[in-house]
Structure 1
C-alpha cells in the first residue's frame, strides 16, 4: 500500500460539477489544498480540457502533487446516446491533454473517475465483478463501443502515463445531495415513468461516499490499480427511484414497459443491464467502506439534512 496523507496540492478537473464539489469538500477536510480546473469562472484555473494549448497555458508555472480527472459534460442524467458524446470526448481527448498538463506541473499521482459500465453494458449475471474482470470490452453496437472506447482509453492513459502514478475509481451510479435533487420535481409531477426491474440490479454509491473514496485513492491508492466503488446493496433502477419517492414522501413513479424506453436509447440500455460490483479490494487496500450501505440509508440521511 502507498500511503501519503500529508497535505498535498491538488488540481481537480471538474471541481464545479456535482461530484467535484463533494470531492473538493472531502479533500479540503482532509487537509489538502484544492485548485479547481474548468471553463467556469468559479475555477482557480480556467481552461477547456479539449483545448490542449489553452490547458497547457493555464497550468504553466504551477506545481501540483496530484491531478484528479472528474470532469464531465453532463448537466442532467443522460437519456440518449448522443447525450454522452461530449463526456466521451472528455474521457479520451481530455484525458490525453490532462496527462500532458500533469507532467508539465511535476505531478506524481493521477487519479481518474471511471465507472461500473466500463465492464460492459448488458446482463453480467449475479456474480459481483472484481477488478480482475475484463474492463472496456468491445461494445455490442457502434454507439456502445463509442462509450466503452472512451472509458477504456481514460484508464489506459492514466495507467500508461510515464512518470505518473495512475489510479482509477470505477464508481457505481451516483445519488445524493446535488444529484438526486433533480429527480424530486419530476416525481412530484409524476413525470418520471420507469419500467419494472424484473431481477435487474445496478451498483449505486452516495456522492459523499464517492468523494471519500477519492481522498483514499489520493492518499493510499496503489499505482496502476483500479478500485470498484459502490455501496453494499445493488438495486434495480426502478427500485432506486421508488426509494427516492419513499424517502421524500412523493408519489411512486408510473410503470411503463421497457420497450417504451427505446427512443431514450442510453436510458434503455442502462435500465436493461444487470451488474454487481465487489468492493473488497477498495476496503482492503484503500481502507474505504461506504458510510451508507444502501440507497435507502443514504436518501434518509439526505432528507434529514434538509433536502426537499
Structure 2
C-alpha cells in the first residue's frame, strides 16, 4: 500500500488526504485532525520511515523566519519524495503582468514564505505555488452572506485564485505520477479583480453589491492592505503540460456557481 505523510492537516491538505485515502493510500498526518503529534519526534520518525511521499502544508514562522518542518525534521527529509504547498505571494507585485515558474521571487511582502519556498526547492521538492484559495465555507459567497464583502476602488488591480478541488487534483496528479521535482503554479485561467468576483457572488445571491470604497475608507488590516498592494496574473501552463492538469473550475464563474448549487 502506498503511504503518504502530511505535515499540517489544514483546509487544503485535509482534502488531499481524503482523496488519497479514497484512492487506497494510507495517510498519516500532523495537525489538529491528524493522528501524529508534530512535537513527538519518535512518532513522526516512525511515520516518516514508512512513507513513500511526504507533503507539507505548514506555513513558515514569520517571527522566526524559518520553516518549522525543515527546522525540526529537515535532516530526516533529505532524499525523500517531497511536496510543498507554497504561495504565489513569493512573486511580489508585478503591476498586473503575468508570472510563471521562471519569474523571480523574493521581492514581495512575504519574505518568510519566499525563503521557505526556496528551502523546499533546495530539498528537490515539488513546490506548488497557490494563489487565493476558495471553496466550501471560504468564498465570496460566504463573505457576502456574512456582510464582510468589500469593493475597493483600485482600477486595474487583479489577482489569481484557485478552487480547493483544483489544488487537490493538481497535487494528487503529481503524487500518483511521481512528477519531476520543481515548481508548479496551480491557479485558474482567469485572473480578475476582487470587485468582479464580489459582484458575481452578489448576482448569484440576488443582493446588491457593497458600495465602492477607497483603501482609506475601507480601514483594512495591515495584512489586507498588503494583499491589495500586489497586482499580478499567474500562468498555469506548466502544470497543464507536465501534470496533464486541467482545472475543473477554470474561472470564478464556474467555481462560485458550483458552490452555490452545492
Deviation at 1:179, TM superposition (A): 2.0
Q: Which residue does the alignment assign to 1:81?
A: none
Q: Which residue does the alignment assign to 2:58?
A: 71
Q: Which residue does the alignment assign to 2:180?
A: 222
Residues 31/90 of structure 1: CA separation in 2 closer, same or farther (3 Å cut): farther
Residues 251/19 of structure 1: CA separation in 2 closer, same or farther (3 Å cut): farther
Deviation at 1:247, TM superposition (A): 2.9
Q: State the SS of the aligned residue for 1:61.
A: helix
Q: Which residue does the alignment assign to 2:90?
A: 118
Residues 263/188 of structure 1: CA separation in 2 closer, same or farther (3 Å cut): closer
Deviation at 1:212, TM superposition (A): 1.0
Deviation at 1:263, TM superposition (A): 4.8
Q: Which residue does the alignment assign to 1:100?
A: 75
Gaps of 5+ in 1: 1-6, 48-53, 73-84
Aligned residues: 259
Deviation at 1:193, TM superposition (A): 2.9
Deviation at 1:87, TM superposition (A): 6.1
Q: Which residue does the alignment assign to 1:136?
A: 106
1: CA distance between counterparts of 2:202 and 2:61?
31
Residues 245/166 of structure 1: CA separation in 2 closer, same or farther (3 Å cut): same
Deviation at 1:191, TM superposition (A): 3.8
Deviation at 1:126, TM superposition (A): 4.3
2: CA distance between counterparts of 1:254 and 1:89?
39
User: 1:208-260, CA deviations, whole angstroms, 9 ceiling, x for partnerless residues?
Assistant: 0011111122233212x101110001111222222233333344223211233
Q: Which residue does the alignment assign to 1:58?
A: 43
Output the TM-score relative to the length of structure 1: 0.75
Find 1:9's aligned residue among 3, 7, 25.
3
Pairwise mapping of residues 199-278 of structure 1 onto structure 2 (< 5 A)?
Answer: 199-220=156-177, 221-223=179-181, 225-261=182-218, 263-278=220-235
Q: Which residue does the alignment assign to 1:75?
A: none
Instruction: Answer yes or no: is the 8 Å Cα contact 1:45–1:58 preserved in 2.
Output: yes
